[in-house]
Structure formats: structure tokens, C-alpha cells
């Protein structure tokens, strides 16, 4: 499962970043706190469904689906 699969109100635990992720995007994710074990959830979805705003560490971060698909998740119960 990846971050772009989450629906409104869903949450997940970050497992890691996909192997094919460009180096600069991977570093950006790390700088923003996208580390293994962090909880992330959908805050809001734009009218055209892209980008989507996510909440991580009480911070709202908006990502395009292309970038969000690089974040690997484990579903949170």
C-alpha cells in the first residue's frame, strides 16, 4: 500500500520510501519527517483529487499523487 491509496479519514504507518524514488524527492520526504513508524493521515483532498493534504506530526503537507505513491504504508487499525 502507498500513501496515494489513502482515502479521506484514513491513517497509516510509514514503512519507508520506494526504491525508485528520485534522490531529491527521497531527501525531501526525510526532511519533512516521512520516516518509518510515523503516523500519517489524509487531511483534505482538492476538488480535482490532486494534490492531497496529509497530516504528519501535527503538520499539514500537500503532495501530488505522483510523489505520494513513493511513500510505502502499512494500514493503521
8 A C-beta contact, residue 52 and residue 45: yes
Q: What integer pLDDT is reported at residue 9 of this predicted model?
A: 87
pLDDT tens digits, one per residue of 20-75: 999 999 999 999 999 999 999 999 999 998 999 999 999 999 999 999 999 999 97
Q: What is the pTM of this model?
A: 0.88
DSSP 8-state class, residue 18: -
Domains: count for the chain = 1
What CATH number is attached to the domain comprising 48? 2.30.30.90
Domain region containing 8:
3-75
DSSP 8-state class, residue 71: E
Amino acid at each position: 500500500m502507498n500513501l496515494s491509496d489513502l482515502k479521506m479519514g484514513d491513517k497509516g504507518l510509514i514503512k519507508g520510501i520506494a526504491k525508485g524514488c528520485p534522490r531529491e524527492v527521497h531527501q525531501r520526504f526525510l526532511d519533512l519527517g516521512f520516516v518509518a513508524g510515523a503516523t500519517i493521515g489524509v487531511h483534505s483532498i482538492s476538488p480535482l483529487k490532486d494534490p492531497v493534504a496529509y497530516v504528519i506530526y501535527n503538520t499539514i503537507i500537500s503532495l501530488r499523487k505522483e510523489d505520494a505513491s513513493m511513500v510505502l504504508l502499512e494500514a493503521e487499525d
